[in-house]
Homo-oligomer: A and B are copies of this chain.
Amino acid sequence: MSNNQFRKGELYSFITGKASIAIARRLQKKFNTAGLNLTIEQWSVLYHLWKQDGISQQELCNATFRDKPSITRLVDNLEKLQLVKRVSSDADRRMNLIYLTRQAQKLQEQSMGIAEETLNEALEGVPAERIEICKEVLQIVYDNLK
């Protein structure tokens, strides 16, 4: 069954992820305004470390859907900002375990608050059950393609 649900302009929006780009831009602006010297991509790495500290770069790749070079460089930059530290694993010396610094721990609450605020602005006026359906559809899309 081919489902040609998309008129041309809508096809374009879906492929380009217009909505998520708008969310990311708004979040970045809020970070800047708040004086958080952090890119969204860097934040997304910290996000997973706040959930579980001391995971490997490979685990960060899986969690953030990025390839290894991308994580290498994001960790490079986070290290320069003194927000994380690479510690090579005793158990497997190929692995780097990535640990948050004190400074990064302090950023969690504020930045997560800003992220929630941004999502609330994005979804203002959308009934909960429609948000739920949207989330489910996007999850299926991801599962279909992964």
Contacts and interface: CB of A to CB of B under 8 A. Distances in A.
Nearest to A14: B119
A39 to B, nearest CB: 13
A145 B22 contact: yes
Interface residues of A, number: 58
B3 A16 contact: no
Nearest to A8: B51
Majority DSSP secondary structure for residues of A touching B: helix
A69 interface: no
Interface stretch (A54-62, A74-82, A128-136): A128-136
A115 B120 CA distance: 31
A110 interface: no
A137 to B, nearest CB: 4
Interface stretch (A23-31, A86-94, A98-106): A23-31
B19 A24 contact: no
A137 B144 contact: no
Interface in A6-23: 6, 8, 10-23
A144 B123 contact: yes
A121 B16 CA distance: 16
Contacts of A137: 123, 126, 130-131, 133-134
| Residue with the highest number of chain B CB atoms closer than 10 Å, among A18, A47, A138 | A138
10 contacts: A5-B131, A11-B116, A14-B20, A14-B119, A15-B23, A15-B40, A15-B118, A22-B141, A22-B142, A125-B144
